[in-house]
A and B are shown apart, each in its own frame.
Chain A
Amino acid sequence: MSTVTGVSAADQTPGPDRRRPLQSDTASTGRIGDRLFGGAATVSGILVIVLVTLIAIFLIVQAVPALMDNSANFFTSRVWAPGGEQPAFGILEFLWTTVTASTIAMVLSVPVGVAVALFLTQYAPSWMRRPAAGLVDLLAAVPSIVYGLWGLIAFAPVFKPVQSFIEDKLGWFPLFAPTGISGGTICFIGVVLAIMVLPIVTALSREVFDQTPTAHKEGALALGATQWEMIRTAVLPFGRPGVISASMLALGRALGETIAVTFLVSALADGNPWSWSLFNGGETFASKIANNASEFSNPNKTGAYIAAGLVLFVLTFVVNSIARVVIERRKAFTE
């Protein structure tokens, strides 16, 4: 369902009767009722634009003064001491943790999510498709705080031996170097995020795979292709833009996920040595902000957190815009 992803892949498509909905050029025909109702609809739409613009403006306006007073480099510093006479704060650690954990989540969830979508559209017996899809959607209905709770109490102890195994065997490689932290490592958070975004990848991929023209599929089969070859030559190429945008939306969600990460994360002590290891701790943007909500005491301190939130906003904005552009291009291509 498109409500899972919040984005519809078929904005301008005609209805089931293959005609576009009737539209008039203006919201008003001069009648008082039309003026009021059309006006209200237009105002609501404009309100949405205004809200999004305001989000950007307010975040920028309140972040700038704090950034001006910042004595450290905002992008390359790992210090976070926004209070006091000489505020110094940088986002390097959050950026690294956020991006790395989200990347791990993508690496795990995209192949599995696409495979599940293929299963639901191509392989599952027809009686099974709807209930199975419902089960995957159920994964999306679980509130993220429950993922946090489950990860903290149930999943972390199971993941621990896996981590020590990898550290034992591959510890010589910087990415897997042991850091003495277990529990809320970047890698662990990535795995939990992967589970959380899996239904997003699956839902939108399923939508596009379902739209593969039957003629393409039958053509491939008629040429003697096996089912897998048919999928590789007909379904996957047709669905690729959909899969890319689904992945982008999932990435946007992973980048901004707050409460589950806040539950799981192991914060690092100040002045800890830099490590490339995926088994290191570290806060993400969202968890850093959430963990310190009670600290918003003076404008400069708040400004520092708002600046971090602004970076997160820009990151997700870019990722979501890419998703949108990919969907748009596909639409232009299929129409």
Chain B
Amino acid sequence: MSTATDRRAPDDQVVPGETFTPPGGRSGRDALSEMSNPHRARAVKDVVARVVMWAAFALAMVPLVWILGTVVAKGFHMLTTATWWTGNQRNINSDDFGGGARHAIEGTLQMVGFTALIAVPIGILTAVYLVEYGRGRLAKAISFTVDILSGVPSIVAALFIYAVWVTAFGFSRSGFAAALALVLLMIPVIVRSTEEMLKLVPNELREAAYALGVPKWATVVKIVLRTAFSGIVTGVLLGIARVMGETAPLLILAPYTKNFQRDLFNGNFPTLPMMINQDRGDFALATAAERMWGAALTLILLVLLLNVIGRVIAHFGAVKK
């Protein structure tokens, strides 16, 4: 790669003390040094472009540093309080300090775990269909709808589940209903990442299995999926991380509670995003703001932890050629 883009390499061959004139035009650096050179404008443009690209990257880093910096600076001391990892928010009002986040952490983990339980098999099987079986119209249609599903806004997914679960079936809002909405958001992520991984499995492995008379299903299950296993796990973890921070479905479908609550099917359900949302109206109060930042930091840490684990697994378990 570097030889392709490094257009300065020939310059290094100039013998000191000798004037070197490139046969065609001149490269940017030469032109810059000679004011009379007609290619000066081009060279200036080149330098300007270079500066703009670096500046754009620096600009993109500003919000990242700012957001992470603020969250850590304002939220970290909450994570070191005694009750944060053990208690809940029971009887704690906006103007009270602290309280615990354990109910929300457990709730979030339980909800995304349940979501993954439904979404992962569907997602992986769909990817298996697309890569190993699918051909023609049906496969095209499925691939297209997966794209559409990945573009469905979370609020629309939530409205759909509301329309089915609450309006049509008459159930009440619950953690389970929110998990169903998260399933819709998670499926396309799992399908796409699994698909990529299955495509990386060398055909020789499949051919070898077929040549030995292994049935197709066993080839897929025991050879293809096993080879791609670590990549699939990575995709699943990234998918979980993705839905973990989703708030819109929770807002519509799973009202928050400040208490411990393990029951996904009845009553309100505590989650980290909703814990942040709870104090939204009182963000001017220092105690409420602190709690929001603390919960935000906890949520980011959970998401990052999943991302890191996912990438480590991807790194050590990549498909070998």
A contact residues vs B (CB 8 Å cutoff): 1-3, 5-8, 11, 13, 15-17, 19, 21-27, 29, 31, 33-34, 36-38, 40-49, 51-52, 54-55, 58-59, 61-62, 111-113, 115-116, 118-120, 122-124, 126, 132, 135-136, 138-139, 141-147, 149-150, 152-155, 195, 198, 202, 214, 217-218, 221, 223-224, 226-231, 249, 252-253, 255-259, 262-263, 285-286, 289-290, 293, 296, 299, 302, 305-306, 309, 312-313, 316-317, 319-321, 323-324
Contacts and interface: CB of A to CB of B under 8 A. Distances in A.
A284 to B, nearest CB: 10
A134 B134 CA distance: 33
B235 A3 contact: yes
Contacts of A262: 251
Secondary structure of the B side of the interface?
helix
Report, as a range, how many residues of chain B touch the other chain.
Answer: 35 or more
Tell me the interface secondary structure of chain A in the complex: helix
Interface of B: 1-2, 4-5, 7, 22, 24-28, 42-43, 45-46, 48-50, 52-54, 56-57, 59-61, 63-64, 66-68, 70-71, 121-123, 125-126, 128-135, 138-139, 141-157, 159-160, 162-164, 166-168, 184, 187-189, 191-193, 195-196, 198-204, 206-207, 210, 215-218, 220-221, 235, 238-239, 241-242, 244-248, 251-252, 273, 276-277, 280, 283, 289, 292-293, 296, 299-300, 303-304, 307, 321
A226 B43 contact: yes
B57 A116 contact: yes
Nearest to A29: B216
Nearest to B67: A150
B202 A15 contact: yes
B162 A33 contact: no
B28 A227 contact: yes
Contacts of B149: 48, 51-52
A46 B195 CA distance: 16
A122 to B, nearest CB: 6
Given A36-B217, A226-B46, A316 B151 contact: yes
A106 B176 CA distance: 35
Nearest to B168: A58
Contact of B159 (A33, A59, A141): A59
Contacts of B123: 44
The 10 A-B residue pairs with the shortest CB-CB distance in the complex, in nearest-first order: A256-B153, A143-B245, A6-B150, A115-B56, A320-B151, A37-B217, A44-B125, A224-B25, A228-B49, A258-B248
Nearest to B123: A44
Contact of B163 (A21, A25, A59, A317): A59
B156 A313 contact: yes
13 contacts: A3-B192, A19-B203, A42-B133, A42-B138, A58-B164, A112-B56, A116-B53, A142-B245, A153-B70, A257-B153, A262-B251, A286-B155, A316-B151
A99 to B, nearest CB: 14
Given A49-B142, A324-B144, A34 B56 contact: no
Contact of A23 (B71, B132, B150, B189): B132
Contacts of B139: 45
Given A3-B239, A55-B160, A122-B5, 7 more contacts: A2-B192, A6-B188, A44-B125, A52-B145, A150-B71, A227-B7, A293-B252
A62 B163 contact: yes
Contacts of B242: 3
B60 A116 contact: yes
A115 B196 contact: no
Contacts of B144: 324
Contact of A49 (B141, B202, B207, B210): B141
A143 B48 CA distance: 35
B218 A33 contact: yes
Contact of A135 (B64, B157, B200): B64
A119 B57 contact: yes
A158 B104 CA distance: 31
A8 B144 CA distance: 11
B5 to A, nearest CB: 6
B306 to A, nearest CB: 9
Given A27-B129, A48-B142, A214-B4, A7 B147 contact: yes
A87 to B, nearest CB: 17
A16 B200 contact: yes
A135 B61 CA distance: 8
Contacts of A22: 132, 203, 206-207, 210
Contact of A198 (B60, B68, B133): B60
Contact of A29 (B164, B192, B215): B215
Given A7-B150, A143-B244, A293-B252, A37 B4 contact: no
Contacts of B66: 150, 154-155
